[in-house]
Amino acid sequence: MQLGFLVDLRLCMGCKGCEIACKVENEVPLSTWRLRVKYVDVGSFPETKRTFTPLRCNHCANAPCERICPVSALHYIENGIVNIDKDRCIGCAGCVMACPYGAIYIDPQTQTADKCTYCAHRIASAMMPSCVVACPVEANIFGDLDDPMSNISKYIQEHQGNVQVRKPEKGTDPHHFYVGGGNVTLNPLASFRGEGHNLFNNLTHLPVGGHH
């Protein structure tokens, strides 16, 4: 079994329901996110559009975070999920430095690394990840990539040529796919990003360094 995620960006309307569901399900502290939706505005008025990109851990087959973790706190489980053992983590932040997707953060409450686990605890109870359940337009598609009859496998088959991953040049082999993505949605360097573009708080920098 190899679990994977696919987000159809053509369906996503940026409601952030997935973001909130994830926060509630996993008790993610304020100012940190396991999953978030990035808004990017493209073009000049009146020819403008807004894109929405849900971003979470890519659960890579060749995960740099798993490789750099000195104590195997980040580890693979049999269904392909890159899980984290917070009781073992020493908080060295090597994984934060290694993840090319910026998906890992230091939890300010536990002072350990944390990230999306595809809701491994829910999957163990045969439930879907909370973000999948919360999505009102079924833009989040989750399932077994090894099963050709699973929804995600069928979706990838149907949309061949329009399925992308973030930063394929990194060689991480992500198990998180996007349909309808492009340079602006998937490449962080393709859009201007200044400080202060946060509607819900006035943080300018994430407190990822914890005690520093």
Partner 1 sequence: MAHEIIAATNAVVTLDVALPGIVWGWIITMNMWAKSIGTGIIFIAFYLLKKYPEQTGFIRLPSVVISIVFIHLFLFFTVIDLHQMFRFWHIFFYPHMTSMITIGAWLATGFVGIILAMAYFLYMKKDEAMYDKLLVYGVVLAVPVTLYTAGLMAQSTARELWQMPTESIQMMLAAFLAGSATMLLVGGNKFSDTIKKDLALILGFSAGTAFIMYMLELFFGPMKAEEVIATLEFVKGGEYTFMFWLGQIVAFLIPMALVCKSIKDKSYYLLKIAAVSALVGLWITKHVWLVIPQLLNMS
Out of 10, 13, 111, 136, name the contact with partner 1 by CB under 8 A: 111
Residue 109 binds partner 1, judged by CB under 8 A: no
Length of the chain: 212
Out of 15, 29, 38, 79, name the contact with partner 1 by CB under 8 A: 38
DSSP letter for each residue of 7-58: EETTT-----HHHHHHHHHHTPPTT--SSEEEEEEEEETTEEEEEEEEE---
Q: Which is nearer to partner 1, 153 or 175 (CB)?
A: 175
Residue 192 binds partner 1, judged by CB under 8 A: yes
Residue 70 burial by CB count (10 A; 0-12/13-18/19+): exposed, middle or buried?
exposed
**Torsion angle (degrees, nearest 10) of CA 21, 63, 172, 167:** 40
SS3 at position 87: coil
Judged by CB under 8 A, the stretch of 4-12, 95-103, 118-126, 139-147 that binds partner 1 is: 95-103
Choose among 121, 144, 30: nearest CA to 130: 121
Out of 1, 10, 13, 67, name the contact with partner 1 by CB under 8 A: 67
Least distance to partner 1 from the beta carbon of 145, Å?
22
The answer to whether residues 152 and 113 touch, using CB atoms and an 8 Å cutoff, is no
Out of 7, 21, 69, 156, name the contact with partner 1 by CB under 8 A: 69
Q: Which is nearer to partner 1, 157 or 198 (CB)?
A: 198
Least distance to partner 1 from the beta carbon of 181, Å?
13
Out of 1, 24, 30, 190, name the contact with partner 1 by CB under 8 A: 190
Out of 11, 20, 61, 100, name the contact with partner 1 by CB under 8 A: 100
Out of 24, 88, 138, 162, name the contact with partner 1 by CB under 8 A: 88
> Positive or negative, the Cα torsion across 100, 147, 52, 200?
negative
Q: Which is nearer to partner 1, 159 or 170 (CB)?
A: 170
Residue 181 binds partner 1, judged by CB under 8 A: no
Out of 4, 94, 143, 174, name the contact with partner 1 by CB under 8 A: 94
Judged by CB under 8 A, the stretch of 43-51, 119-127, 130-138, 143-151 that binds partner 1 is: 43-51
Tokens representing 175 are 């198990």
The answer to whether residues 5 and 56 touch, using CB atoms and an 8 Å cutoff, is yes
